[in-house]
Amino acid sequence: MEASWDYANAKEYVKRIKEGMPSVIINAAVTGGHQKSENPNVPVTAEEQADAAAAVFAAGATIVHIHARRTDDPTLPSHEADRYREINDLIRSRAPGILVDNSQTVGKLATEGGELIGSVGYWKSAPIEAGPDMMALNPGPMTFRGGNGAASRVYAGSFDDTERTANVLRERGIKPQVFLYHPGHLDILDHLIQNDALDKPYFVQLVFGQQSGIPTSPDSVLYMVRNLPEDSIFQTCALGLEEIHVNALSLLLGGHVRTGMEDCIDYQRDELAQGNAQFVERIVRMANDLGRRVTTVEETRQMLGMK
């Protein structure tokens, strides 16, 4: 099953439209750093995330991406394997068959004086121990503004750290989804391929609009897609209202889509989203109008080379 093609080849592109575009994978990122104070429909507890997973699965998503929150205070992230395992199990009980995609937890990065300045990629990750079907693999470095009196932060990760994590994921039978936030991360992706740390096809998440990442624009999307290595399957996402625009471009280019309330809590300008399924339903409508059928779980597994 062909999942992507050379979109720059005009004859091939027209042929694909006439003969049938490939089906599209929808990944729903149901929670992240947003809080109920921003949108009361953000799922934060394990039960709420499992309910959200069931809803997006019914709407057409075949992958659900999660971030664990603490039991005692769901406004805070959890980095415990047991917490991720609890959420994974609940999701699988309520949405049997959906592919569970865990976020990558990180270690703290501090100065000698103990001041927290950021986080570092950590291959002994709690989500790995929780046994997801796939997991985000975040290369560094990145830097983030503070705001509201908070200090700025950095995310650090070396070539070797990222390679080590990729190898651990392979050993555990977990499909890595390599996140690329800017063109420099293409070098890390190439490093992983050259050092045989990834299996084909390479599952890539292109992120637009993140601080210190590549800004959102059609040209940015085209640049990143144009420079992906062969045998790559890509998804796109962006922050806030920009998300739907890069998702539309991905649908046109034969790529795939990540959507959901981790990335955007507004369905439209000045209109809060009612839930994650609302975003998935919109992508399904757009995909169908463009002649792109939504994948089944079995097709998603086949396209990504998962057993």
Question: In this model, does residue 121 exceed pLDDT 50?
Answer: yes
Q: Above 70 in pLDDT, residue 114? A: no
**CA atoms in the 13 A half-sphere facing the CB of 232:** 25
- Give residue 9's pLDDT: 80
Residue 211 CA from chain centroid, whole number: 16
**What confidence tier does 104 reach under pLDDT thresholds 50, 70, 90?**
confident
Q: Is the pLDDT of residue 115 over 90?
A: no
Give burial (CB, 10 Å; 0-12/13-18/19+) of 153. middle
Is residue 15, in this structure, part of any structural domain at all?
Answer: yes
Low-confidence winner among 45-59, 139-153, 209-223, 280-294 (lowest mean pLDDT): 139-153
Q: Note the pLDDT of residue 117.
A: 55
215: left (phi over 0), alpha (psi -120 to 50) or beta: beta
pLDDT class for 49, splitting at 50, 70, 90? very high
Identify whether 227 is part of a domain: yes
What pLDDT shows up at residue 140? 78
Alpha carbons 108 and 225: distance in angstroms, whole number: 32
Res. 86: pLDDT tops 50: yes
Q: Is residue 66 part of a domain?
A: yes
Answer yes or no: is pLDDT of 85 > 50. yes
**Residue 44 belongs to a domain:** yes
Which of the two residues, 11 and 111, has the higher pLDDT score? 11
Q: Per the structure, how many domains does the chain have?
A: 1
Domain of 89 in residue numbering reads as 10-304
List the beta strands (DSSP E) in the chain.
Answer: 26-29, 63-66, 99-102, 106-110, 116-121, 134-137, 142-144, 153-156, 175-180, 202-208, 232-238, 256-259, 266-268, 271-272
Residue 1 has pLDDT above 50, yes or no: no
pLDDT digits (tens, 9 = 90+) for 169-209: 999 999 999 999 999 999 999 999 999 999 999 999 999 99
Token pair, residue 258, equals 């990540």
Nearest to 277 by CA among 21, 43, 99, 6: 43
Q: Is residue 28 part of a domain?
A: yes
Mean pLDDT of the chain: 90
Query: Smallest Cα–Cα separation from 137: which of 106, 109, 173?
Result: 106
pLDDT in tens, 240-290: 999 999 999 999 999 999 999 999 999 999 999 999 999 999 999 999 999
Section 288-307 average pLDDT: 95
Q: What is the mean pLDDT of residues 126-143?
A: 89
**For residue 54, what pLDDT is reported?**
98
Q: Which residue has the higher pLDDT, 154 or 132?
A: 132
Res 273: pLDDT? 98
Higher-confidence residue of 297 and 153: namely: 297
Pairing between strand 202-208 and 175-180?
parallel
3 falls within a domain: no
CATH number at residue 175: 3.20.20.70
Q: What is the pLDDT of residue 31?
A: 95
Question: Considering the domain boundaries, does residue 4 fall inside one?
Answer: no
* Residue 57: its H or E element: helix 46-59
CA 257 to each of CA 180, 250, 254, 296: distance values in angstroms, whole numbers, following the listed order? 14, 7, 10, 14
